[in-house]
């Protein structure tokens, strides 16, 4: 017979918080997070809050808590948890306010807690759509160049205001022709052996999907076509020798 390991009981798998008042009969640290305490009212688990809130609010055994006070403590704790969750997201990379809002809602935080957490983060300058837009444009320019149209589309998709997005793009002063030409030269290698007209159409489509307008695509196609013809002329010169 197989030896099956017994699952250790989850000591923190407490029931959902109750929002009824009563007498605090016990407070104990949570096993998985000693910075949080479980509060028991009338000998039954009522809610969990951070140790910081418990201390600052003076919650103690023997205290009488009415329903409004319980709700206020739970709501304040939710704001703190939402803020902490958002800070974890921002530690990975900058995010727009809309990205943070959406992720917190996905995690189940109530809208009032999400909005208050965002206000805190904006006050600390951890969330700033103008800074995020600049970061996004600079990162794209350095790693995955694309045209102004697609850059603006990406920023708008992330909830950045149109004017804020355009301002960030203008400030970066992207050289669309140079970026598109570099992309075209790299992509052109995969079209070797194709009919020149077919390669030209595919290259135009590729650059269009990268957000470049025909005012950029046209000159780039002319440049790469001219370079290709120049290379062919050099090959012919070599053969004639």
Tell whether 156 and 223 lie within a shared domain.
no
- Say if residue 20's pLDDT is above 60: yes
47 within a domain of the structure (yes/no): yes
74 within a domain of the structure (yes/no): yes
Q: Which CATH number do you get for residue 146?
A: 1.10.10
Tell whether 30 and 105 lie within a shared domain.
yes
Total domains in the chain come to: 3
- Say if residue 171's pLDDT is above 80: yes
Tell whether 27 and 92 lie within a shared domain.
yes
Q: pTM to 2 decimals?
A: 0.77
Tell which wins on pLDDT, 15 or 204: 204
236 within a domain of the structure (yes/no): no
Question: If pLDDT is split at 50, 70 and 90, which confidence band does 2 have?
Answer: very low
Cα 163–Cα 169–Cα 174 angle in degrees, nearest 5:
160
Strands 44-50 and 64-65: unpaired
2 within a domain of the structure (yes/no): no
Q: Which CATH number do you get for residue 89?
A: 1.10.10.10
Of 123, 144, 160, the domain-final residue: 123
Range(s) of the domain holding residue 218: 177-228
């Amino acid at each position: 017979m197989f030896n099956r390991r017994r699952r250790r009981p989850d000591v923190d798998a407490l029931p959902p918080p109750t929002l009824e008042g009563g007498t605090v009969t016990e407070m104990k640290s949570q096993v998985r997070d000693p910075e949080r305490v479980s509060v028991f009212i009338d000998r039954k688990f009522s809610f969990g809050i951070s140790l910081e809130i418990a201390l600052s609010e003076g919650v103690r055994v023997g205290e009488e808590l009415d329903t409004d006070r319980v709700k206020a403590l739970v709501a304040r704790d939710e704001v703190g948890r939402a803020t902490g969750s958002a800070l974890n997201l921002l530690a990975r990379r900058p995010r727009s306010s809309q990205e943070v809002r959406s992720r917190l809602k996905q995690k189940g935080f109530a809208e009032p807690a999400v909005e208050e957490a965002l206000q805190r983060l904006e006050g600390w300058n951890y969330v700033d759509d103008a800074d995020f837009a600049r970061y996004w444009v600079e990162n794209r320019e350095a790693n995955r160049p694309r045209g102004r149209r697609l850059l603006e589309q990406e920023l708008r998709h992330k909830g950045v205001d149109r004017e804020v997005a355009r301002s960030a793009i203008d400030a970066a002063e992207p050289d669309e022709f140079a970026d598109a030409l570099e992309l075209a030269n790299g992509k052109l290698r995969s079209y070797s052996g194709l009919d020149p007209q077919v390669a030209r159409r595919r290259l135009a489509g590729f650059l269009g999907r990268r957000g470049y307008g025909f005012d950029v695509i046209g000159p780039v196609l002319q440049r790469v076509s001219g370079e290709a013809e120049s290379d062919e002329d050099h090959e012919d010169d070599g053969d004639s020798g």
